[in-house]
Structure formats: C-alpha cells, structure tokens
Amino acid sequence: MAVIHDMMPAFELFQPASLDDALGLLDRHGADAWVMAGGLDSFDWLKDRIRKPAVVVELGAIDGLRGVKAAGDGIEIGAMTTLTEVVTNPLVREKFGVLFQGAEAAASPQIRNQGTIGGNLSQDARCWYYRAGWSCYRAGGNVCYADTPTAVNREHAIFGADRCVAVNPSDTAPAMIALDAKMVIRSSKGERIVDAQDYFVGPGTDITRLTTLQPGELLTAIRIPGTWAGAEFYTEKVADRKVWDFPLVNIASAMKVNGSTIERARIVVNAVAAQPMRLEAVEQFVAGKPRNEETANAAGELAVRGAVPLAHNAYKIPLMRNLVKRAIRGGDNGWASTS
Amino acid sequence: MGIDFLTRGITPWGQSVFTHISWDLLWVSFFAGVVFLAAHSVYMLLSAHSKRASADVDALEAKLKGLPEKIQRHSLPARMFHWIMAASMLTLLFTSFLPIVGVKFAWVEWHWMAGLVLAASILYHIIHATFFMDFWSIWVGPKDIPELKSEMMRELGGDTSGPKAAKYPLGNRLYHMAIVVTGIGASATGLFMMKKVQTPFFTRDPYILADATWSWMYVAHGAAGVALVGLTMAHIYFAIRPEKLWLTKSMLFGFITRRQYLEHHDPTRWRVPGSEPVGGRPSE
C-alpha cells in the first residue's frame, strides 16, 4: 500500500501536567487514545499514517514520571526517564551495570536523549510487514506475511511463533527481567505491579500487543530490587550495525558466583521471540555448576532446544547458543562487568 | 449504532478485503440460542406432547411379540463418533471464542488439533453412514411432509392417525442438516486455514489462494463457528431436557427400551430386527 511519510493524520493533542490528569484522559478516551512518551515509536506510526488515533496523550510534561531514585536497597526509575539519564545515573552504573549496558546499546546518542526507558520497554514490534500497515495477525487480520516461502524474515522469531513471528526489539527488556524488576502500572482504577517477566506477552496471549498494558493503563515506574545489585553481569547485543540498530539477538545475564561455582543466575535473551525469553531451564542447569567451558557449552545447547527457524533466520540458533555460552563464561567478548 | 457484520483489512496490493466476520455476531448467536431455549421451555409447558398413549403402546406390545426388551438405536462405532465429535466441537468452540470474550491463552494449537479430530471423525462418519448404516434415514425430504403434518397436529393436541417418527424424529434430522452444513463448512475452511499457521504438516503459505478467496474463507469459517455456538447450545439443551433423556441415554448406552420404541416410533417406518412383521399402521 502507499505509505505517505511526514504527514501525520489529525488528532487531538493532550499534554497533561500530572499523572492523575493523564490517567483521567486515558480513562475518558479508552482505546481511542495513543500514549506518547519520547515519540520515537509513535512518530513512525503516525507519520506513516498507519495508526490514526483520535487522541494523543503526550506525557513529557509530567515531572513525576522522570528520574532515578534510591528505593530501599534498589532503585525506582520513572517511566519517562530518558535512556541517557539511565545510562549516566551513578546508582544504575554502580549497582545495576547490566541495565546501564542495555540502555547504552539502544539506538544512537540522539535517540537515547529523547527516548525513554518506559518507551523502550513498551515499544511495538518492528516487523516491516506489520509496520507497513497490512492486515497481518498482529494488526488484527488473518495472515502472517513474514512467515511464507518467499518472506524476508531474517530478523524474526525462532521461538514461540503463534501465527505471528515478530520479535520484541527492546534493548533494555532483557536487563529488567534479569534484575527481577517490577513494573508499576497505573490506571484510573488503581495500581498493579507485575514482574518484568510477565509485563511482556506472546502472541498466544494477545497477538496484537507486546505488553500486558491495556487501554487506559500507563507504565509509570520500574522498581529494581537490590537482589542482584553488584552481581556479575553480562550483556551483548548483536546487530547489523554497531549503533542505531535493533538487535538480531541480545542477551543480559546476572550471576552470583562463588569462587569458580555459579550459585545462581538469571539469563534473558531477546529478539528471538515475541517476548524476551528468560532461560529458566538454563538457569536451573548452571546453578551449582562450575563456571567452565563444559558448563557453558551445555548451557548453550540447552538454550536453543526447541528453536524453529524460518526460511532466513536459522543463523539465530548458533548465534543465541554462542551468546549464552559467552554469558556463562563472562569475560571480554561482550560487555561483562562486576560492580 | 448498528452491528458491523464484517471487518475489513488492506492487502499488500492495496485491496480492501474482508478479514473475518464481526465478533458481535458471536453474541447474536449466543443470545439467539438463549432466546430459543427460553421460548422452547415455555412452549413445552403448554404443548400437548406427542408420545403414544399407554393403551396403544400396550396393544402394540401385544401385537409385536418378537420385539426384544432392549432395542439398539446407536451402534458402538456411531456412539464413539458422536462423543468424539462432541468433544472436538466443544474444544473448537472454547478455543476459538474464549479468547474473543477476553480469556487469553495460547489457543491455536489446541484449535487446529481439535479441528483435525473433527475432520477425521466427519470423514469416518460419512464412510460409516454410507456403507454401514441406513444412509437415507437421517435425511429430510418431501416424504416427511405427512410426518410433519401429523406431529404438528399432535403438538396442538389433536388425535391424528398420521405417521410417527421413523428411527430419527424430524427435529433430529433437521438439526443434523444444520450440523452438516455448519460442521462441514467450518471443517473444510479450517483445513485450508491450516496453511496459514505453523503445524508439522505444511509450510505456511498464504499465497495458495487469492486474498479475496481467503477473505471469504475466513468469513465462512467464522459464520459457521458462531452458528455452531447457538446450535450447540440448543443440542445440549435438548439432551438434558427430561422428556428427551431417553434419547441421550441411548447415545450413551446404545439402546432404548421396547416401551420407548413403541411410544415414540412408528414400527412400520423403523423396522427392528427380531420383531414380527407388522401388518399395517400400529395406530390403526
């Protein structure tokens, strides 16, 4: 279909100054309202005229949604905090290096200056068939153009395809799950807090969304407990370009190591399924094992068990296997840190 | 504000096509089913039931001495088909419509697996009914007009000498017709739709049919599906109605009693092996 760039459809713009005002607007307009944080995902949709919301609620004027603050032995990050603020925050760098690394891997400095942590976590799928505005499953239709004999699906899913094969493109989501973050969601009806792991949903649960957010709801903050503060972290993102690109596969891990023994670990891979995949079987396997080549190899093999490649993305299987190996090994291949 | 019957989408070639029926129609089918059940329940309070009079049954029983105590109504293979079809049908309805009403779960694999079971059971039933059963006994045609007339007269309280049901009452056969159309419609379209989801059997390929053809395939599948909601509700309702329990039991155990046979059926139209030949219409 013809895509008209740079001409946004008309909408009614609201720029509430308080969270209550924003929630009131979302309650009033329901599914007609489009929530805009940094605008980097939103403007693509709007300028391509694929999404034509009646109302846009822009959150930039709500100061209460910005900033990083200490919360007990952990931290709380406002959803409108920019990725640059996350990257430069001393608390994040000191305690949760895996998040600092994940956020710094996102896009480019200019985009990190404008893009928010809430937006990065809640952004929509980047499948270009979906983004083109065709009636694919994710758009409410009845076909997946990305999984056909002739489709270009190099970037798509190797796990969990349930009609749709789009992947979650977030750079920070794996770190949040590895850190066992809690997502604070508000609506006019109240507040609910969900584990980061449960914030993301696959197509089996809801094929038209990547997160559990429903119309009227807003991600307001992310609380990271101190459980994994100072753990040994590993982050690696493989993309076609060094900067300003979405991951082909990325990984984040947090590991507690005693001598040469892995006590426990949380390992999360993204861009291989519609939701970030926490590798619980691998985590259980490596717990109590020596941190050596043999454990890393076995963990890598275990991680990719059940993967089903599409026509052009079989490379993701060895890529993911090797990233898991490297996360177990740690070291200097990726972006390893101990705080 | 009215109901949108069909939803539309845009293909990569800019064509506007139907994507599926409006799911508002699910509620239409559901409430139509509820209204029918309520109306029928009230009607049954007022209806003069069409069971043969006890004295007539006694007379028939004396006349047809060869009738066994238990008369087989459904063979084991026929009953197995029925219950396998029922289980697959309920699985199909729940897996398709629960997500639409808000109960979210990974439904697709369950749905196509149940669909394959249904399609296989229908194929089996067609072969079984064609070669091993009285094929024409379930169909409806002009030959049934006398039965329709006499059943209507009986429902209105009249004492008619017209024919009673053969093996299957007219209502059963009309219901079977509706299930044939909707069940085969849903199954046949569903089999095509398996080319669009990941299964171990096919490579996904939406291009085997034109977008416009697919759109009608989805509309037909959805329409058959929502129709089956109302039809299934009606079927379960009749299965648990007190005056129909003898039929439900026969689908469980395979037989009806001699009295039930004589109360509800016309021995000249449903001849049971082992009975003595019947000379004329039993009610005469």
Q: Do domains A12-61 and A231-338 have the same CATH topology?
A: no
Is residue A240 a contact partner of residue A315, using CB atoms and an 8 Å limit?
Answer: no
Chain A residues whose C-beta sits inside 8 Å of any chain B C-beta: 1-2, 129, 132-135, 139-145, 147-150, 161-163, 202, 204-206, 308
Taking contacts as CB-CB distances below 8 angstroms, the residues of chain B near A1 are: 10, 12-14
Residue A145: which of B12, B17, B198 has the nearest Cβ? B12
pLDDT at B49: 63
Contact B203 A149 (CB under 8 A): yes
pLDDT at A329: 94
Q: Determine the Cα–Cα distance for residues A130 and B134; give it in Å rounded to an integer.
A: 53
Taking contacts as CB-CB distances below 8 angstroms, the residues of chain A near B10 are: 1, 133-135
Contact B19 A142 (CB under 8 A): yes
Is residue A304 a contact partner of residue A141, using CB atoms and an 8 Å limit?
Answer: no
Full-model pTM: 0.85
pLDDT at A204: 86
Which contacts (CB < 8 Å, 24+ apart) does range A103-111 have?
A: A103/A171, A103/A172, A103/A175, A105/A171, A105/A235, A105/A237, A105/A247, A105/A250, A105/A335, A106/A171, A106/A172, A107/A40, A107/A83, A107/A171, A107/A243, A107/A244, A107/A245, A108/A243, A108/A244, A109/A84, A111/A40, A111/A83, A111/A244
Q: Determine the Cα–Cα distance for residues B5 and A206; give it in Å rounded to an integer.
A: 23
Tell me which residues of chain B have a pLDDT lower than 70: 1-3, 48-50, 159-160, 274-284
Which single residue is written with the structure tokens 């049919």?
B209
Pairing, β A277-278 against β A335-338? unpaired
Taking contacts as CB-CB distances below 8 angstroms, the residues of chain A near B197 are: 163
pLDDT at B1: 46
Is residue A57 a contact partner of residue A23, using CB atoms and an 8 Å limit?
Answer: no
Give the length of chain A: 339
Check whether domain A63-122+168-227 has CATH 3.30.465.10, yes or no: yes
Q: Is B66 on the interface with A (CB under 8 A)?
A: no
pLDDT at B267: 85
pLDDT at B284: 35
Tell me which residues of chain A have a pLDDT lower than 50: 1-2, 339
pLDDT tens digits for A256-273?
Answer: 999 999 999 999 999 999
Q: Where are the domains of chain A?
A: 12-61, 63-122+168-227, 231-338
Which residues make beta-bridge pairs with A222?
Answer: A77, A183
Contact B196 A142 (CB under 8 A): yes
SS (H, E, C) A155-201: CCCCCCCECECCCCCCCCHHHHHHCCCEEEEEECCEEEEEEHHHHEC
CATH of domain A231-338: 3.30.390.50
Q: Is B104 on the interface with A (CB under 8 A)?
A: yes
- In order of their start, the domains of chain B are 18-47+75-264 (1.20.950.20)
Contact A2 B14 (CB under 8 A): yes
Taking contacts as CB-CB distances below 8 angstroms, the residues of chain A near B13 are: 1
Q: What is the dihedral of CA B208, B213, B219, B225, to 10 degrees?
A: -40
Q: Please name the residue of chain A whose CA is at the shortest distance from the CA of residue B197.
A: A163
Residue A134: which of B10, B20, B108 has the nearest Cβ? B10
pLDDT at A161: 87
In A271-324, DSSP assigns E strands to: 277-278
- Which of the following CATH numbers is that of domain A12-61: 3.40.50.1000, 3.40.140.10, 1.10.10.10, 3.30.43.10? 3.30.43.10
